[in-house]
Amino acid sequence: MTATGARRFPSAAQADPQIIALLREIPVAILSDNLHRSTGSVGLHPYHKPAPLAGTAVTVRCRGGDNLTFLRALDYCRPGDVIVIDAGGDVTNAVIGGILSFAAASLGVVGVVLDGAIRDVAEIRERTFPVYARGVNHRGPYKDGPGEINVPVSIGGMVVNPGDIVVGDQDGLVAFAQADVPQLLEKAQAQQRKEEQTMQAIRDGRWERSFVDALEARAVN
């Protein structure tokens, strides 16, 4: 299908698994700091047992509370992909629940990100399979469509393009183009090492805080 509202495009090339493994070890807060603190989703929450998320985005746009396009999008997913669903922030009906999140995991999908509602939360919270959503509603989904697969979507105010890398932890989610990874990874790893040094200095009682004077000096009051 190519008509607007029902478009389906092939999935983008996946990110290098070694890069994904490195990104999984970096907190989202550090990645966010090195993305100028201006990107990332707002209003979505993790509902799974704490576990990191990192993978390549397969995107879905659907009507709120309708999961027909999600079901078809599973055919577009490969092990290592993250399904990113733009349901318009609607929480009147759940798009997925325990069964479909389990089905996605069984196919090798590494996480589901949904700007909409889920259900079967107690079940999802017992698993480490990452599931992020805007809210919860026991009312189940419709299966009427229409919807689109592998088009740009907006998730909690964050634009995600097909093939972007999505990284998540208990703080939230960020997404960025694969082309941005080399510079981002270098800067984030450097910050991570610096923060580890700061933590050690605090433990040792040698945390030097003269930087506060400089911050106050530049403050406009």
For the entire predicted model, the pTM comes to 0.95
Q: What confidence category does residue 2 fall into, taking pLDDT thresholds of 50, 70 and 90?
A: low
pLDDT at 219: 87
Neighbour count for residue 177 (Cβ, 10 Å): 11
Q: What is the DSSP letter of 180?
A: G
**Nearest Cα residue to 95 out of 61, 125, 122, 127:** 61
Residue 110's SS3 state is coil
The full length of the chain comes to 221
State both tokens at 145. 């469509």
Domains of the chain: 17-177 (3.50.30.40), 186-218 (no CATH)
**What would the pLDDT profile of 178-195 be if each residue is shown by its tens digit?**
999 999 999 999 999 999
Computed on alpha carbons and rounded to an integer, the radius of gyration of the chain in Å comes to: 19
Mean pLDDT over 31-60 rounds to: 96
Cα–Cα–Cα angle for 24, 161, 59, rounded to 5 degrees: 85
Q: How far apart are CA 158 and CA 173, in angstroms?
A: 9
Is-cis flag, bond preceding 27, omega within 30? no
Mean pLDDT over 153-164 rounds to: 97
State both tokens at 123. 């079940």
